[in-house]
Chains A and B, each alone.
Chain A
Amino acid sequence: MSVRALEALKNRFGDVVVETHSDWGDDTAVVKAESWKEVCRFLRDDPSMAFDMPVDLCAVDFPERSPRFEIVLHLYSVGKRQRLRLKARVGDAEGDDAAIDSVTDVWVGVNWYERETYDLMGIQFKGHPDLRRILMYPEFEGHPLRKDYPANKTQPLVPYRTEEEAGLTLDKQAPFGIDEGMPFGRRTFDERDN
């Protein structure tokens, strides 16, 4: 459907487009992170592309890869009824320096998506007008959707009671064990050396 868009991207940007595929009919282009904003602007403004709706923006964590994160942007053109998935790869093994240009001034609608991606994956969006946490509380430490963040880790704002404070025997002592709470956990990523 929007294979034309992939061809146009390759012709226009050449080496910036790292790879393309159309698995399951979803046309995908992986571009270099430094050209992210330029490519987005082209996709919105070029009359043959006209991707005016940013459907979704999220990130996927691949701890064993370098760069570690994939930022995934789904675009839709309401007028031309075509879709495109745009990806960029950022971040080192630690994930500390994961950063990419914000595209809030291209589509105003990605504002919250970028905040969510920053909140849950820890990717910095350079130039974002208001990069705050959105789903987690401000005191939260870490980024929960990263694979090395344990799913059963608790960060209580009010500390758990000890048995002395409670004055009675508590059947559950915090922090709960690895096999409690989520017994169906099938994978653990302990410091990425699983």
Chain B
Amino acid sequence: MEPIDLDLEESELELPSEPMHLNMGPSHPAMHGTVRIVLELSGETIVKSDVQIGYLHRGFEKMCERGTWTQVFPYVDRLNYVSPMLNNVGYALAVEKMCDIQVPDRCQWYRMILGELARISDHLTCNGAMAMELGAFTPFLWYIKAREMVWDILEEETGARLTHSFGRIGGMASPPTPALKEMCRTAIPAILKLVEEGEGMLLKNRIFIDRLEGIGNISQKDAIALSWTGPCLRSTGVPYDVRKAHPYLKYDEVDFDVPVGTSGDNMDRFLVRLGELRQSARIILQACDRMPDDGPVNVDDPRVILPAKGDVYTTIEATIQHFKLVMEGAKVPKGECYSYTEGGNGELGFYLVSDGTGTPWRVRIRPPCFPITQGLSDLINGGMLSDIVPTFGSLNMIGGECDH
């Protein structure tokens, strides 16, 4: 045994005075495995930070240029993978804008219901994960339990829990199931009750409040200049919501509010998401009341919609149409267009360039997380090391979308 009470010289006990460099991520659990932050620390205070993304880059935009317009749907599922339905709807709307197609009313309500369900799932995941990263595991389980109900409905409708690939140009893959409305009306009160229970556990907890209030503030002006959208922008008090400012589908016919915060700190972002979740529940219930039970879901447009299977086997016209749509893809008129919808994290935009063929020339996604993650440095500089976790959690960075 070596003696451990060695006489150390005093010089060896002095702490180094130069700033310490620290790598946070990509394997840090709070960094989603896809973000690395190189930090320069003075004690426990962050002096400088460099946020590096790209650990999940899968070449989404390059892949889109290789297939047909319809073959992009499975890729958009994998962008924001906690609300894939919103991406499906966003991309479908973008291509329909280029083709000058308006889907039938029933499909619009259907898309709204599925999209808002996905938004609920997105906000539940974000708030639950944020609480869990601060050590509150029970609310996380509560929120995941609520999300499970949402996913059960989506699974019933689309056949998949996560990657639905359910959108189609000019409609949806299949019409709503007869039980959709009943499932929504049953699940929503149960979800809201769970949300309230989780909220009660968190918002009366001194540790949770102290970790969130006044941390990660951003001003309205900075948030706009950084191109922030969605709950993160609304938490600063800017009431910009694409569904209100530039309504699409039937959002101008339903009654809902846009929750806004005041100071743009972590707590505001948390509360804005909870508020939006309740508004989404309101939208779903209104849409359930107004969605017709019968009628077409897909447009009657042979240029983009596959014919009925029975016709393919029995008529030559439908066979040819089916063959051309599958082999060459739907022909989208030549030109460029930018279509934007309100995704889970903000404005989800698709900038499409077509050369008139069945293959996209360029599909550019405007991922809402990308500029939001860009602002992370400004939020954490000058703060404490431990505040990175709630701040980063409140931004809701989704790796698939940020790194597309």
Query: Which A residues fall within an 8 A CB radius of B?
Result: 23-24, 26, 28, 52-56, 58, 60-61, 72, 74, 78, 81, 83, 85, 107-113, 116, 120, 133-137, 144-145, 147, 149, 151, 182, 184-187
Contacts known (A111-B374, A135-B57, A182-B66); A55 close to B225, Cβ less than 8 A:
no
Q: Are B224 and A53 in contact (CB under 8 A)?
A: yes
Interface of chain B: mostly helix, strand, loop or mixed = mixed
From B226, B361, B362, contact of A108 by CB (8 A): B226
Task: Render B333-347 as a binary contact track against A, CB cut-off 8 A, 1 for contact.
Answer: 001111010000001
From A23, A144, A147, contact of B335 by CB (8 A): A23
Q: A53-B224, A109-B227, A186-B359 are in contact. List 6 more A-B contacts (CB 8 A).
A: A72-B351, A109-B226, A133-B54, A135-B53, A151-B62, A185-B66
Q: Which residues of A contact B54 (CB under 8 A)?
A: 133-137
Q: Which residues of B contact A28 (CB under 8 A)?
A: 336
Q: Which residues of A contact B61 (CB under 8 A)?
A: 120, 145
Q: Which residues of A contact B52 (CB under 8 A)?
A: 134
Distance in angstroms from A166 CB to nearest chain B CB is 27
Task: Render B222-238 as a binary contact track against A, CB cut-off 8 A, 1 for contact.
Answer: 10111110000000001
Complex alpha-carbon distance, A133 and B52, angstroms: 10
B75 at the interface (CB under 8 A from A): no
Contacts known (A120-B61, A136-B57, A186-B66); A109 close to B366, Cβ less than 8 A:
no
Q: Which residues of B contact A133 (CB under 8 A)?
A: 54
Q: Are A187 and B238 in contact (CB under 8 A)?
A: no
B370 at the interface (CB under 8 A from A): yes
A-B contact pairs, 12 of them (CB 8 A): A24-B335, A55-B227, A55-B349, A58-B351, A74-B351, A78-B224, A81-B246, A109-B371, A112-B370, A120-B61, A182-B63, A184-B67
Give the nearest-CB partner of A150 in chain B: B62
Q: Which residues of B contact A135 (CB under 8 A)?
A: 53-54, 57, 403
Complex alpha-carbon distance, A61 and B52, angstroms: 26
B364 at the interface (CB under 8 A from A): yes
Q: Which residues of B contact A53 (CB under 8 A)?
A: 224-225, 227
Complex alpha-carbon distance, A140 and B347, angstroms: 31
Q: Are B62 and A52 in contact (CB under 8 A)?
A: no
B353 at the interface (CB under 8 A from A): yes
Distance in angstroms from B332 CB to nearest chain A CB is 11
Distance in angstroms from A84 CB to nearest chain B CB is 10
Complex alpha-carbon distance, A78 and B225, angstroms: 11
Q: Are B62 and A184 in contact (CB under 8 A)?
A: no
Q: Are B62 and A144 in contact (CB under 8 A)?
A: yes
Q: Are B366 and A56 in contact (CB under 8 A)?
A: yes
Give the nearest-CB partner of A130 in chain B: B50
How many residues does chain B have at the interface if contact means C-beta atoms less than 8 Å apart? Answer: 43
Contacts known (A109-B227, A134-B53); A74 close to B366, Cβ less than 8 A:
yes
Q: Which residues of A contact B45 (CB under 8 A)?
A: none
Q: Are B351 and A78 in contact (CB under 8 A)?
A: no
**5 pairs of A and B residues whose beta carbons are closest in the complex:** A109-B227, A56-B366, A135-B54, A135-B57, A24-B337
Instruction: Count chain B CB atoms within 10 A of each CB in A53, A58, A147 and give the residue with the most.
Output: A53
Task: Render B18-52 as a binary contact track against A, CB cut-off 8 A, 1 for contact.
Answer: 00000000000000000000000000000000001
B97 at the interface (CB under 8 A from A): yes
Q: Which residues of A contact B403 (CB under 8 A)?
A: 135
Q: Which residues of A contact B353 (CB under 8 A)?
A: 60
Q: Are A107 and B227 in contact (CB under 8 A)?
A: yes
Give the nearest-CB partner of B246 in chain A: A81
Q: Which residues of B contact A111 (CB under 8 A)?
A: 374
Q: Are B67 and A186 in contact (CB under 8 A)?
A: yes
Contacts known (A24-B337, A184-B67, A187-B359); A55 close to B59, Cβ less than 8 A:
no
Give the nearest-CB partner of A108 in chain B: B225
Complex alpha-carbon distance, A111 and B59, angstroms: 20
B4 at the interface (CB under 8 A from A): no
From A55, A81, A108, A184, contact of B245 by CB (8 A): A81
B240 at the interface (CB under 8 A from A): yes
Q: Which residues of A contact B245 (CB under 8 A)?
A: 81
Complex alpha-carbon distance, A109 and B53, angstroms: 16
Give the nearest-CB partner of B54 in chain A: A135
Q: Which residues of B contact A56 (CB under 8 A)?
A: 227, 338, 349, 351, 364, 366
Q: Are A78 and B240 in contact (CB under 8 A)?
A: yes
Task: Render B97-108 as a binary contact track against A, CB cut-off 8 A, 1 for contact.
Answer: 110000000000
Distance in angstroms from B14 CB to nearest chain A CB is 34
Complex alpha-carbon distance, A186 and B336, angstroms: 21
Q: Are B338 and A109 in contact (CB under 8 A)?
A: no
Instruction: Count chain A CB atoms within 10 A of each CB in B53, B227, B240, B361 and give the residue with the most.
Output: B227
Instruction: Count chain A CB atoms within 10 A of each CB in B54, B71, B340 and give the residue with the most.
Output: B54
Q: Are A60 and B361 in contact (CB under 8 A)?
A: yes
Q: Which residues of A contact B359 (CB under 8 A)?
A: 186-187
Complex alpha-carbon distance, A26 and B370, angstroms: 23
Give the nearest-CB partner of A56 in chain B: B366
Give the nearest-CB partner of B71 in chain A: A184
Complex alpha-carbon distance, A112 and B163, angstroms: 28
Complex alpha-carbon distance, A145 and B245, angstroms: 33
Q: Which residues of A contact B336 (CB under 8 A)?
A: 23, 26, 28, 60, 72
